[in-house]
Chain A
Amino acid sequence: DADVTQTPRNRITKTGKRIMLECSQTKGHDRMYWYRQDPGLGLRLIYYSFDVKDINKGEISDGYSVSRQAQAKFSLSLESAIPNQTALYFCATSERRRQGAIDTQYFGPGTRLTVL
C-alpha cells in the first residue's frame, strides 16, 4: 500500500462549489504539507502542519483552508472553488527534524482538480 494517499485522484467541479481534498499517511511522520503545481510555476506551498495543533499558511493560502484531524490525516478545502484553482494538488509528509533522519518530503500521487 502507498505510504501517502490522496483522495480523490481526479475531480471536476463547478465554480462556487465547496471541495475537500484528503490526504492520509502511514509513514508516521509529524509534518504534512499541501502544494499546488501549475505548468511553469513549479510547486507552491499552500499550507503546512508540523503537528496536529500546528497549522501554518504557505505562500498561496488565500481561498483555501485546512484541517489536521489526526497525525495521519490532513485535508485541504476550497470553500468556493474558482477556475484559477484548477491545478494538480500534492500532499507531502516529512519527519520531525532529528539526527540521522533524511529531512526531505515524501509526496502523495496527486489530485487533478478542474474547476469549470
Chain B
Amino acid sequence: QKEVEQNSGPLSVPEGAIASLNCTYSDRGSQSFFWYRQYSGKSPELIMFIYSNGDKEDGRFTAQLNKASQYVSLLIRDSQPSDSATYLCAVRSTGDDKIIFGKGTRLHILP
C-alpha cells in the first residue's frame, strides 16, 4: 500500500526561527508533491507544490524534493504565530492518479 509518512508532532518552534517539516513517501514513481496547511476545524489549503528535484521558494516557504531518497520537506522562515497549524504532505500516486495524504504534523510557533 502506498504511504506518506510524517512526524505527528507537535513541533514547537520559537517565533522568528525556521520551522522544518519532513515527509517520506513509498511510491518511487510519484511526480507531484504538495504541502497543505490546515487550521483546526478548517479545510486544508494548498501552500506549496513541487514537481522537480531541488528547492522551490515562495515567500517565507521553501519546498525541497529529493526523489532518490523519496523525501520532501517544507521550510518556513521567520516563523509567525499565525503559522501554527497542521501541515499535510500529499503525493500524487502513480497508476490510479489519486492524491495520498500524510497524517500531518502539528506545528506550534512559540511567541
Contacts and interface: CB of A to CB of B under 8 A. Distances in A.
A107 interface: yes
- Which size class do B's interface residues fall under? 20 to 34
B49 interface: yes
A43 B49 contact: no
Contacts of A40: 8, 103
Interface string B73-111: 000000000000000101010000111011110000000
Contacts, number: 44
Contacts of B92: 103
Interface of A: 40-43, 45, 48, 50, 58, 88, 90, 94, 97, 102-110, 112
20 contacts: A40-B8, A41-B103, A42-B88, A42-B101, A42-B102, A42-B103, A43-B44, A43-B101, A50-B97, A58-B98, A90-B43, A90-B44, A102-B49, A103-B92, A104-B49, A104-B90, A105-B46, A106-B46, A107-B43, A107-B44
